[in-house]
Amino acid sequence: MSQTITENMEEVRQIQPTPKRFGLALDKFITFAAVIALFIIFSIVAKNFFTLRSVLSLLLQTSAVTIMGIGVTFAIITGGIDLSIGSVIALSGTIAVMVAIAGVPIWISMIIGLLVGGLCGLINGLMITGLKLPPFIATLGMMMVARGVALTITNANAWPAPEGFGNLGNGAIFGTGPQFPGIAYPVLMMIAVAILFSFILSKTRIGRYTYAVGSNEEAARLSGIKVNRVKIIAYIISGLLAGLVGIILASRMVTSQPNSADGYELNAIASAVIGGTSLMGGVGTVAGTVIGSFIIGILSVGLTMAGANYFLQKIVIGLVVIGAVTIDQLKVRRK
Amino acid sequence: MDISEFEQMDSPTQDVILEVEKVSKSFPGVKALDNVSFTLRRGEVHAIVGENGAGKSTLMKILSGVYQADQGTLRYKGKAVIFRDVNQAYEAGIRIIYQELNLIPHLSVAANIFIGREPLTRLGILDEKKMNADAATILNRLNIHMDPAIQLNKLPVSKQQMVEIAKALSTESEVLIMDEPTSALTESEIDELFAVIHTLRNQGVAIIYISHRLEELRRIVDRISIFRDGHSVSTDDYSAIGMDEIVNRMVGRKLENKFPPKQNTPTTEKLLEVRNIVRTGLLHDISFDLYRGEILGISGLMGAGRSELGRAIFGADPMDSGEVIMNGQKLALHSPADAIKAGIAYLSENRKEDGLAVKMRLTENITMANVYEISKRFGVLSHAKEMEIAQRYVGELLIRTPNLVQVVNNLSGGNQQKVVVAKWLFCDSKILIFDEPTRGIDVGTKYAIYELIGALAREGRGIIVISSELPEILGLTDRLLVLHEGKLAATLTTADTTQEEILSHAAGLVTARPGNTAF
């Protein structure tokens, strides 16, 4: 067949398999450079910012936002959103604690907490694909329901968890005493989650389908991709990672906190958006979200250490979200 | 022959409203316009034709203020002008109507016409009465008959297009640019549009008319300018130039035939048997066979159920009853995935809306329907294999792209179509359903697509071509089905039929035919 067609065309061109893409590499470099620049600025402005202790604490504080940001990145790339993250964190954390209090071994209760997160994600996915609800509405409903369930089962009280429940959130490895407290488990989990889900998104079939569904849902369906299944998986990932953050936070506080993590979903969405994920779907990376959450993390830790109050932090982070998306829009328009 | 200079000297200057003199425009890596000249007179319909990438749209964007020329002069009503932005061109009286309509579906016709400058009462409230009355005046002036108070989305596309025209001309305007205005219209709707264009021309509006449908130009065009590779090749009175010559100048070489010689010979081996397909209200009891190596056409007027039939066989829309049998096996078609597994491919008429993921790369689009083939264990994708496959199809189908990871949005229409074909070849599809395979594709590339379709049939695949262009159906197919209002009106052998016969079946004019008592 190829010969017939070639005969009638004069030219056969040599095609470069991949182009030299300075442009794109530069974009990523700039975002990364922003993190470094912020870091350097705060090292100068804030005393004690550039110390091992504060870097370790920065990593620990940022781990929660990063993990849930990675989860919501999947939902956003399919063209959706997950507003239920904060409530799902509270629900899976409280259920894990309550189950542990009831005498279930701690590691099993934590797995149950994780599964509760995944189940919430599954329900979100089913509402979006089965009932055809807009993701905003489905996850808004889940946000309220999950919070309500968390408050109900705890009677709105903070119940102390059994001994040993706090190890996951407060433990560390390689610690050598007060000089070097070690790398906290949540930080290790953040690194593992980032590597695993970056791989899934960029190198596996489900990752490819996630982009395809977000880029053009109908084209994906007509290519035989089971669009509903892909969306459900994306919301399960978002729910599971919220569940993971839920047990980490419950473990750090060693109590069930039904009111915790209120509004965290917005930080997660912000970190994805700062990292270049498009709310229109089809665009985004795990690496971008990690960078985005670190920009938020460095800003809040840095501003605190530089003596700025909490309200100023809110203002600055809000401006960064607006600025990052503005730059993205300008790039699109320039093309 | 370049006779545009001669004409510029000869024509009385007051007739000329717009002159483009030696305009050039470059983008990084491309010279989109190179020394382009052309003149537009009051009260003429001036066609601009050329293949994709000839520079038509770049020139239109300069005329409407989206881009500015690097070199050369724009002379409007005798004065050299530069339109710095869209508003300046608009103020000057230049209107452009794009292929995609820019209207708000949930507002009334009048509200759409007056959007952004709604008349207000003294209290600052919308003056609906005045708006409707003024809209009626404007519509009347253009000989468009419709109720200004009706909600826009209750109108067919053709009427919506008229609203767009009315909106453009509701303020003082002298130049109207229309980009592919007929691409979504049926034959009778085109007649209506052309009547409006006639009215405008007689009122002295200068009209630039861009179209790929060369056949229709004959009916409205006064002069024609031909563009090729960023150059203006010629301007002629339409009556002084033949269709063959137009095509030759567009492609820059002789295209003896619009259709390649037949490559395929249909076998007598049934590949697909479609039995009694029903989709309530859309498809009524349709049965036909497709043979190995055959190209089967599906013809009919817009709304006759052409695409619906193709989509039903592909499992894209659920059918209410009926059977699809492939190689003697009944297929259970619940979704496109089932059809793809069986070896059926559907190439949608809207490449950008549902054929391609335009934000994704060429490689990713080619492998999209068969990602399993490039998967290793645990669903991990093989990048190397994907590149190898893309390289192969880019070579075989001569897809013009700077590299393999180009985002497909940046490819031309013809090359995008080839990417879609590559996607289905990679699935090793045995049956390919092409829905309007050459819509929005230039003449030269059309020929390549026709060749490709012929080659696919010769390899023993079964091809279904759904097309609204009768010459395409006649030039390409072995047999054809004619649909009329969701029913199969006729099954014809292409060699023994004529455009007239097909049209009379499509229009429902033939009330009885042998072997069918349903009519």
Q: Which residues have a Cβ under 8 Å from the Cβ of A151 and sit 6 or more positions away? A: A258, A259
Q: Which of B357, B402, B455 has the CB atom closest to A220's CB atom?
A: B357
Judged by CB atoms closer than 8 Å, whether chains meet at B375 and A205 is answered as yes
- A156 to chain B, closest Cα gap in Å: 43
A chain contacts of residue B335, beta-carbon cutoff 8 Å: 221, 224, 226
- Rounded to the nearest 10°, the torsion over CA A133, A136, A138, A144 is -160
**CA-to-CA distance for B249 and B12, rounded, in angstroms?**
27
Looking at residue A9, its pLDDT comes to 37
Q: Is ipTM over 0.90? A: no
Question: pLDDT over 90 for what percent of chain A?
Answer: 62
Judged by CB atoms closer than 8 Å, whether chains meet at A15 and B401 is answered as yes
Q: For residue range B428-470, what is the model confidence (pLDDT) as tens digits?
A: 899 999 999 887 777 777 888 898 899 999 999 999 999 987 8
- A273 to chain B, closest Cα gap in Å: 18
Looking at residue B14, its pLDDT comes to 53
Looking at residue B511, its pLDDT comes to 56
Looking at residue B74, its pLDDT comes to 92
- CA nearest to A94, candidates A77, A78, A74, A109: A109
Query: CA nearest B367 in A: which residue?
Result: A223
Reply yes or no on whether the pLDDT at B142 is more than 90: no
In the numeric block, which tokens belong to residue B242? 């033949």
Q: Which of B348, B423, B455 has the CB atom closest to A4's CB atom?
A: B455
Query: CA nearest B456 in A: which residue?
Result: A1
Q: How many residues does chain A have?
A: 335
Q: pLDDT-based confidence at A28, cuts 50/70/90? A: low
- B85 to chain A, closest Cα gap in Å: 15
**CA-to-CA distance for A78 and A154, rounded, in angstroms?**
34
Judged by CB atoms closer than 8 Å, whether chains meet at B355 and A2 is answered as no
Looking at residue B254, its pLDDT comes to 57
Query: CA nearest A283 in B: which residue?
Result: B359
Reply yes or no on whether the pLDDT at B512 is more than 80: no
Q: For residue range B84-132, what is the model confidence (pLDDT) as tens digits?
A: 988 899 889 999 988 777 888 889 999 999 888 888 888 888 888 999 9
Between chain A and chain B, the number of residue pairs with CB atoms below 8 A apart is 132
Tell me the Cα Rg of chain A: 22
B chain contacts of residue A223, beta-carbon cutoff 8 Å: 336, 340, 368-369, 423
Q: For residue range B25-60, what is the model confidence (pLDDT) as tens digits?
A: 987 666 789 999 999 999 999 999 887 668 888 899
B chain contacts of residue A211, beta-carbon cutoff 8 Å: 357, 360, 364
Q: Which residue has the tokens 């109050």?
A: A309
Long-range CB contacts for residues A228-232, cutoff 8 Å, separation at least 24: A228/A129, A228/A130, A230/A78, A230/A206, A231/A78, A231/A80, A231/A125, A231/A128, A231/A129, A232/A122, A232/A125, A232/A126, A232/A128, A232/A129
Reply yes or no on whether the pLDDT at A225 is more than 70: yes
Q: For residue range A62-89, what is the model confidence (pLDDT) as tens digits?
A: 999 999 999 999 999 999 999 999 999 9
- B146 to chain A, closest Cα gap in Å: 34
Question: pLDDT over 90 for what percent of chain B?
Answer: 45
- A312 to chain B, closest Cα gap in Å: 38
Q: Which of B359, B394, B402 has the CB atom closest to A282's CB atom?
A: B359
Q: For residue range B168-202, what is the model confidence (pLDDT) as tens digits?
A: 888 888 999 998 888 777 777 888 889 889 988 99
A78-87, A210-219, A283-292, A315-324: range with lowest mean pLDDT: A315-324
pTM of the entire structure?
Answer: 0.76
B chain contacts of residue A1, beta-carbon cutoff 8 Å: 396, 452, 455-456, 458-459
**Backbone dihedral angles phi then psi of residue B440, each to the nearest 5 degrees:** 70, 20
Q: For residue range B488-505, what is the model confidence (pLDDT) as tens digits?
A: 999 999 999 887 788 888
Judged by CB atoms closer than 8 Å, whether chains meet at B337 and A222 is answered as no
Looking at residue A49, its pLDDT comes to 77
H-helix or E-strand spanning residue B207: strand B206-210
**CA-to-CA distance for B519 and B516, rounded, in angstroms?**
7
- A145 to chain B, closest Cα gap in Å: 34
**CA-to-CA distance for B87 and A105, rounded, in angstroms?**
71
B chain contacts of residue A9, beta-carbon cutoff 8 Å: 398, 448
Mean pLDDT for the stretch of residues B354-364: 91
| DSSP secondary structure letter of residue B31 | E
* Highest-confidence segment of A109-113, A299-303, A325-329: A109-113
Judged by CB atoms closer than 8 Å, whether chains meet at A204 and B380 is answered as yes
Q: Which of A5, A208, A221 has the CB atom closest to B381's CB atom?
A: A208
Q: Which residue has the tokens 């059918």?
A: B319
B chain contacts of residue A13, beta-carbon cutoff 8 Å: 398, 400
**CA-to-CA distance for B111 and A59, rounded, in angstroms?**
56
Bridge-based pairing of strands B206-210 and B45-49 is parallel
Looking at residue B12, its pLDDT comes to 43
B chain contacts of residue A201, beta-carbon cutoff 8 Å: none
Query: CA nearest B404 in A: which residue?
Result: A17
Q: For residue range B276-297, what is the model confidence (pLDDT) as tens digits?
A: 999 988 899 999 999 999 999 9
Judged by CB atoms closer than 8 Å, whether chains meet at B359 and A224 is answered as no
* Highest-confidence segment of A46-60, A260-274, B502-516: A260-274
